[in-house]
Amino acid sequence: MSGGQAQLLTTLFMAAAAVGYPSRRSATDLDATPRMTVTFDELSGVRRFNAHTLNYSTLLLEDDRGILYVGARGAIFALNSSDVADGSHHTIHWEASPEKQMDCLQKGKNNKTECFNHVRFLQRLNSTHLYACGTYAFHPLCAAIDANRFMLPSHFEEGKEKCPYDPARGYTGLIVDGGLYTATRYEFRSLPDIRRNLHQRPLKTEESPLHWLNDAEFVTSVLVRESKDSPVGDDDKIYYFFMERAGEETTSFFDKSQVARVARVARVCKSDVGGKKILQRKWTSFMKARLVCYIPYYEVLRSVCSLDGGGWASTVFYATFTLSAQWRTMEASAVCRYNISAVQRAFEGPYMEYQDWARKWSRYDGAVPEPRPGSCITDHSRKKGYNSSQDLPNSVLDFVKLHPLMFEEVKPAGGEPLLVKKNVVYSQLAVDRVQALDGRSYDVLFMGTGDGWIHKAVVVDSGIHIVEEVQVFRDLQPVESLVISHIQRSLYVGAASGIVQVPLASCARYASCYDCILARDPYCAWDG
């Protein structure tokens, strides 16, 4: 970063405080230098897997079975999670047919990147089968795969309601109690949508008179089992994290004529079955709120992961953000932590309403019908005769249609980022909780970069200490997926060129007690 760019960032730190984004951080915090650097040639204990394909980006770890499933371009692999390089892997070849590839080319798509079957979804369906979906050269298909036989079935399912056509499109999916919850832009000209398919009642978001989603690009989704031990008989919820165009007024240092894109968190209730007459086959529990990390130029949400301390009420979300598109000559990333209580407060707060005359969203201060619109069915609702979303009164459903956006923002714990670091793009994030020798539990973050490095960091109070940076790929490429195995004490890294298995800790690198203590790695202790 040049001196002029650094000075500009410092100026914007001060300006941000002036517009209501206070920070205790100085410009020197942007350096956040890792304690140790390990280059590609210095790596040890690392195992690698690749075959004659690309884009090893969809990972499913079954730790108890000792299997790492990998969805790639035209193939699905079953790897030995204890050693991905031992040669014992099994392969399903799932290429797009020549006819579909030709059709894809005739539609003007790229025969080097797009006209293939990119496996975008891979999860456990039940005790015997996996469920996978691929783009199949812009003709999405899905398949239930017998996990023991590990071969494609004779019958495929239409995938256009479950998987994006475009391999580059933002996408997230979960299988929850037999239901497939996905979010993406499914077809060529379709609007982005959050849908539920498979064995439960199909649902989607509303498009009229208001679009609940505004050119959304989805990042991830998280199941939180809020029904467990709930004193109010609450429902499980699925949280969605995404970027979209902002309809409300935003604070920006940039051209006011440009439509700002902001980070959002939305949620739906698992037991939602839609309305009876209004919002038929549509979510009645959809709500969304703005997710803020720092001052407005950190707007691009890149990755989110969750962690709980044994109960859903202790759930925290870690998220990485990068600079918005206006900063074409600079790279910087921020990491923020959110408590689920902060997310709940936003969804329990005031709503926003679209003002046609002003063409913008503003706070709604009018009457709110009962039961509270967007909420799940609870014991309180059941006592009043509302046993499912189809029992909800029309006034509630009409309100839901017009008020999907909440007024309150979801702010990070402590009111500011844990880390702001220049000259890096954090593309992926995974988190582990470790009990150290001092008896305390520490959250350890593994942050994949846009050029193939892993930054390992420990959360200490309200900040982050970067223990080490490790170059896991020789060739520059973004880290596309990260999965942690507690049994194997390994981190699996997925990227375009292959899979890398990295030890969670390499304590032997510390040559002295002094080095070990200064590293502050909770996985390691000095016994000499």
390 shares a domain with 257: yes
Among 378, 403, 423, identify where a domain stops: 423
478 belongs to a structural domain: no
Residue after which a domain boundary falls, among 121, 147, 168 = 168
Q: To which residue do tokens 């000209």 refer? A: 189
Same domain, residue pair 197 and 146: no
Token pair 């995404």: residue: 242
| Sites in the chain below the pLDDT cut of 70 | 1-31, 188-189, 249-259, 295-298, 328, 528
Residue 446 inside a domain? The answer is: no
How many Å apart are CA 211 and CA 429, to the nearest integer?
30
Domains contained in the chain, number:
2
Residues 122 and 255 in one domain: no
Question: For the chain, how are helix, strand and coil distributed in percent, rounded to 5?
Answer: 15, 35, 50
Tell me if 372 is assigned to some domain: yes
In a domain, 462, yes or no: no
Furthest CA-CA distance within the chain: 73
Domain-located, residue 443: no
DSSP assignment of 328-397: TT--EEEEEEEEHHHHHHHHTS-BEEEETTTTEEEE--S---SSPTTPPP-HHHHHTT--SGGGS-HHHH
Domain match, 161 and 177 both: no
Please report the pLDDT score of residue 249 as a whole number.
65
161 shares its domain with 242? no
> Are residues 267 and 200 both part of a single domain?
yes
Helix (H, G, I), strand (E, B) or coil at 105: helix
Q: Do 176 and 75 share a structural domain?
A: no
Q: What sign has the CA pseudo-torsion 420, 424, 429, 433?
A: negative
323 closest CA partner among 423, 199, 468, 464 = 423
- Are 145 and 194 within one domain? no
| Residue 256 pLDDT | 52
Both 384 and 324 in one domain: the answer is yes
Structural domain for 120, as ranges:
51-168
Domain shared by 159 and 194, yes or no: no
CATH number (domain holding residue 131): 2.130.10.10
d(CA 21, CA 9): 14
The side-by-side arrangement of strands in the sheet containing 141-146 is 119-124, 129-134, 141-146, 157-158
Rounded alpha-carbon distances, angstroms, from residue 361 to 340, 404, 405, 450, 510: 25, 11, 9, 35, 55
Within a domain: 115: yes
Question: Has residue 210 been placed in a domain?
Answer: yes
**pTM listed for this prediction:** 0.93
Best CA proximity match to 454, nearest among 442, 445, 462, 463: 445
Residues 358 and 276 in one domain: yes
**Same domain as 352, residue 296:** yes
> CA nearest 411: which of 349, 325, 366?
349
Tokens read off for 207 = 């498009």
Cα–Cα separations (whole angstroms), residue 514 to 35, 401, 455, 509, 523: 13, 61, 21, 12, 16
Of 122, 148, 168, which residue constitutes the final position of a domain? 168
Is 498 a domain residue? no
* Residue 426 β-bridge partners: 449
The H helix count followed by the E strand count for the chain is 6, 30
